[in-house]
Structure 1
């Protein structure tokens, strides 16, 4: 990854990942509410994909944070 030694770029990527997570969580809430009102296979599939993507993003965010912290030890 090209950001390995650039803390500023790493922080930007972390912020982007956090924003993406918030956006997906909001979409998940909307889909969950719609699914409660009508049992749709398309909505079920959308919810499944949202949950998978959120899981992947949380793993990515944890990795990015650990990379940042390893490059910038607390003093």
Structure 2
């Protein structure tokens, strides 16, 4: 089994997930600001979905990091 390719794939997935989290957090800030000005049901729903997606991405990121770290330990 080629652990180097696994580590590279995990690192790529980690970087992509971190970028996605940053993008969603920026969008969440924007929606939160809009929500302060207008109590729109669609904005409330958007914010709820953003928070759920961010939670999922944070969980995914933790998993990817733990997988990477365990593979690093296996190689030593």
Q: Partner of 2:11 in structure 1?
A: 11
Provide structure 1 residue ranges, at least 5 long, that are not aligned to the other structure: none
Aligned residues: 72
Segments of structure 2 that go 5 or more residues without pairing to the other structure are none
Query: What's the TM-score once normalised by structure 1's chain length?
Result: 0.91
Q: Please state which structure has a larger fraction of its residues in helix.
A: 2
Q: Match of 1:29?
A: 29
Shift of 1:26: 0.1
TM value normalised by structure 2: 0.89
Aligned equivalent of 1:70: 70
What is the CA–CA distance in structure 1 between the aligned matches of 2:70 and 2:31, rounded to whole Å? Answer: 37
Post-superposition Cα deviations, 1:29-75, rounded to whole Å, max 9, x if no partner, equal 00000000000000000000000000000000000000000000296
Are 1:44 and 2:75 counterparts?
no
Distance 2:35 2:45 in 1: 11
1:6-49 C-alpha deviation (Å, 9 max, x unpaired)? 10011000000000000000000000000000000000000000
Query: Deviation above 3 Å: which 4+ runs of structure 1?
Result: none
